[in-house]
A and B are shown apart, each in its own frame.
Chain A
Amino acid sequence: NAGVMQNPRHLVRRRGQEARLRCSPMKGHSHVYWYRQLPEEGLKFMVYLQKENIIDESGMPKERFSAEFPKEGPSILRIQQVVRGDSAAYFCASSPMSDTQYFGPGTRLTVL
């Protein structure tokens, strides 16, 4: 049973470009969460999604960030017009109907 998959593992963007981060949850998991980890900080919740629905986006920055989890395909975290402060590790987690969240390996975004 494959774990949570994220790609790309590393992403380099120049300021002003768009970043798209993908997450495929574990088989049978219908809940997807995105977290951001800045250097020297813990993981911070960004958004919680189920298929075709955003359930809780209380941790998402108000501008430039969006997330989706379509009926088919992976969940996408999209960052438009990236700035240097967006450089971080972005982790996706999935869970079945429980609080046990399983994390992917992360995407490390570097903004030049």
Chain B
Amino acid sequence: QKEVEQDPGPLSVPEGAIVSLNCTYSNSAFQYFMWYRQYSRKGPELLMYTYSSGNKEDGRFTAQVDKSSKYISLFIRDSQPSDSATYLCAMTPAGGGGNKLTFGTGTQLKVEL
């Protein structure tokens, strides 16, 4: 069983839709959670970073963490064609730097006009 599970998609939605992307994890040591966006043949770009259960909002993006269920989500409101990319969840056990990230396999999202 993988430590982090993520539906690979592809997920296709119309422009303006609300997108929900999810990851589950099995290692209860994970405490810090990130979402990265990766365009084709580019490096991952950090979107959201959170360490507490609950919601964190940044513009059209909301990150949600439920540590009791070992489940994290990223919501994208008013999705745009420019949001078409692969979204990777990542997590690490502790803060303070110097910890390797464990990634999901990524969900490919396509937002269509």
In the bound complex, what is the Cα–Cα distance between A50 and B99 (angstroms)? 12
CB-based nearest A residue for B103: A42
A42 touches B49 (CB 8 A): no
B39 CB to nearest chain A CB (Å): 10
**CB-defined contacts of B41 to chain A, threshold 8 Å:** 106, 108
Q: Given contacts A42-B105, A91-B43, A106-B42, are A99 and B95 in contact (CB under 8 A)?
A: yes
Q: Which residues of chain B from 65 to 112 have any CB-CB distance to chain A below 8 Å in the complex? A: 88, 90, 92, 95-106
Q: Which of B44, B45, B99 contacts A99 (CB 8 A)?
A: B99
> How many residues in B have their beta carbons less than 8 Å from beta carbons of A?
28
- Asked whether B18 is an interface residue with its Cβ less than 8 Å from the other chain, the reply is no
Which residues of B lie under 8 Å from residue A33 when comparing CB positions?
A: 100-101
A41, B46: Cβ atoms under 8 Å?
Answer: no
What is the size category of the interface that chain A forms with chain B?
Answer: 20 to 34
Residues of B within 8 A of A52 (CB): none
B58 to chain A, nearest CB (A): 14
Closest Cβ of chain A to B105, distance in Å, is: 4
Let me know if B61 is at the binding interface, CB within 8 A. no
Q: Given the complex of chains A and B, what is the CA–CA distance between A48 and B90 in angstroms?
A: 16
Given contacts A43-B88, A43-B103, contact A96 B45 (CB under 8 A): no
Q: Does A103 contact B (CB under 8 A)?
A: yes
A42 contacts which chain B residues (CB < 8 A)?
4, 6, 88, 103-106
A1 within 8 A of B: no
In the bound complex, do residue B43 and residue A104 qualify as a contact, i.e. CB atoms below 8 Å apart? Answer: yes
Q: Which residues of A contact B102 (CB under 8 A)?
A: 45
Q: Mark A38-74, 1 if CB is under 8 A from B, else 0.
A: 0011111100101000011011000000000000000
CA distance A6 to B102 in the complex (A): 21
Cβ-based interface call for A22 (8 A): no
Tell me the bound Cα distance from A42 to B42 in angstroms.
14
